[in-house]
A = this chain, B = another copy of it.
Amino acid sequence: METKENISALQEFNHQTIPTKSVSVNGIDFTYRSFGKKEGIPVIFLQHFTGNMDNWDPEVTNAIAAQHPVVLFNNKGVGSSKGITPDNVPAMAQDAVDFIHALGYDKVNLLGFSLGGFIAQHIAAHQPELVHKLILAGTGSIGGKAIAQLESHLEKAFVDGPDRVLINLFFSKTPSSIKAGEAFLGRLAERQHDRDLPSSQETIGNQARAIIQYGLETDKDSKQLRSINQPALIVNGSEDVMVDSINSYIMLQNIPNAKLVLWSDSGHGALFQYGADFANEVNNFLLN
């Protein structure tokens, strides 16, 4: 639980310097980092497959934190959080809700990237009273195009060795996008102390099962998307190889109150390639 004293200290810190804390969620310790503006509805960041808190881009988190409270966290079993990661999106969504309640919040903005976007949609649809606004990056809806082909996407991304996986998955094959990818990796390394732990193979396996199951399910008549009543900002790159970009277009056409932003020459990680513009879109979206 945040206390008045530690909240008042948040603004002295940023993504690179904020100490990691933990909170007990149903008896299990979840790790998180909370920084940025002291007042306002917080933006809870929901992370992608395999990612931990260190996988968020400080260019993005700090720019959003300049105008809002920001909370990065590891869901159950992820990174330095304890417990066992469940193998399905609804259970992950409930863990995230329990974490949010454990911090004492009853209204939050959700920013979900990829798997985090699946979780964000589930929470918005099933626990709408908790969600003020929704930001969906590089993601898609239940049964979305090519989501279930996760193993094939990963196989292609590994052909250049483990060091290039993130660039292959998140950026396009153009020199400009690859250069942006390398700059992104540089920014991820800017936090030098108190870094997070990698997720276990068990966690990654359960996340993969959750993603594939989500991709194999069907949501007749886009019922879940149509039930999302919160304003939604949807963003992606023009050629996402993880969650096909057309899924963003489909979400725009079915979520009743939504805005879609797509950038050319970019993929799954467009929110980082165009970090300044993305943060600007988010801040404008949360302003109104």
Binding site for B on A (CB under 8 A): 238-239, 245-246, 249, 252-253, 255-265, 277, 280, 284
Question: Can you list 14 A-B contacts with CB-CB less than 8 angstroms, sorted by A residue number?
Answer: A238-B252, A246-B249, A253-B264, A256-B264, A257-B264, A257-B265, A258-B263, A258-B264, A259-B262, A260-B260, A260-B261, A260-B262, A260-B263, A261-B261
Interface of A is mostly: mixed
Q: Would you call B259 and A255 a contact (CB within 8 A)?
A: no
- Within the complex, which residue of B246, B253, B261, B263 is in contact with A238, where a contact is CB–CB below 8 Å? B253
Contacting residues, chain B, for A259 (C-beta < 8 A): 261-264, 277
Bound Cα distance from A253 to B244, whole angstroms: 12
Smallest beta-carbon distance A270→chain B, Å: 10
Bound Cα distance from A277 to B249, whole angstroms: 19
Known: A280-B284, A284-B280. A252 touches B258 (CB 8 A): no
Q: Would you call B262 and A249 a contact (CB within 8 A)?
A: yes
- Within the complex, which residue of B253, B261, B262 is in contact with A239, where a contact is CB–CB below 8 Å? B253
Smallest beta-carbon distance A106→chain B, Å: 27
Bound Cα distance from A280 to B239, whole angstroms: 26
Contacting residues, chain B, for A249 (C-beta < 8 A): 246, 249, 262
Bound Cα distance from A264 to B260, whole angstroms: 8
Smallest beta-carbon distance A32→chain B, Å: 32
Contacting residues, chain B, for A264 (C-beta < 8 A): 252-253, 255-259
Smallest beta-carbon distance A168→chain B, Å: 19
Contacting residues, chain B, for A252 (C-beta < 8 A): 238, 262, 264
Smallest beta-carbon distance A11→chain B, Å: 26
New A-B pairs, 13, CB < 8 Å, besides A259-B261, A261-B261 = A238-B252, A245-B253, A249-B262, A252-B262, A252-B264, A256-B264, A257-B265, A258-B263, A259-B262, A259-B277, A260-B262, A260-B263, A280-B284
